[in-house]
Amino acid sequence: MGVGAGSVVRPYGDTTGDGMVQVSFTLPVPHDKRAEGAAVQLANRMGVDPAMLVHARQMGDGFTFFVVYGRVNHLVDLSAVRVVERDFPTLSASEVNAVVRRGLRRKLSVVGACIGTDAHTVGIDAILNVKGVAGEKGLEYYRELAVTNLGAQVSVPELVEAARRERADAVLVSQVVTQRDAHLHNTREMAAAFREAMPVGRRPLLVVGGPRFDESMAGELGVDRIFGRGTTPGEVASYLVHALVTGRGVAR
């Protein structure tokens, strides 16, 4: 069912507007009847009432994963929802190449990495590698982009030095590890290092991505753009040419 701007909606489960939701979580307790009761109690305190436990499974020693289904009374005011809208056109690979060739008259330099202790390269590889993701080729496929993929567990000083060496127009960082907000700490550290190492006119565009980032936090974290889950190489390439070529000129 479609809704108009300013509409107030409630969750949909079995019938329209019944308020039914499904939530999952893990508790640090072994799986037994007491653990199941604890899961229902937690769901009740979250506002799920009545709460029905539909799945429980032991997850290693002393941990249990739960799925709970039930009703909530909360409403969603769509007029109060704030998101980061895409403010640039999505271009094809050939269009990106043409814009860079015409606007820069040289290749656009991109340096990518996973920083800190993050060893999960699936995100940065999906954006940079030729094989790309979901049938869409990565930035290495673009003839007018010069891509340097530093891989995993790159220190911030190493990233800054690589950006300087490659005369990077843009630095792309993927962060998947989020324990204790590591992705936020690493991003702030990276942004501070680039501010200290390079003057504004020579600083590359700083772009971060990962499944747990809030796209509205770019300014707070000191970066130019945040991309969340589901981002494609084409979106990133289109943003780069918008920000560096057609939007405000080259960063350095």
Residues known to be catalytic: 131
Relative to beta strand 64-71, strand 51-58 is antiparallel
Nearest to 38 by CA among 70, 66, 62: 66
Measured in residues, the chain has a length of: 252
CA 193, CA 50: separation in Å to the nearest integer?
Answer: 50
Q: For the residues of 128-172, what is the DSSP string, one character each?
A: HSTT-BTTB--GGG-TTEEEEE--SSB-HHHHHHHHHHTT-SEEE
CA 79, CA 91: separation in Å to the nearest integer?
Answer: 30
CA 126, CA 136: separation in Å to the nearest integer?
Answer: 9
- Maximum CA pair distance of the chain? 68
Nearest to 132 by CA among 207, 235, 205, 226: 235
Residue 118 Ramachandran class (φ > 0 left, ψ -120 to 50 alpha, else beta): beta
CA 238, CA 179: separation in Å to the nearest integer?
Answer: 31
Q: Check residue 85 and report its DSSP letter.
A: -
CA 153, CA 159: separation in Å to the nearest integer?
Answer: 10
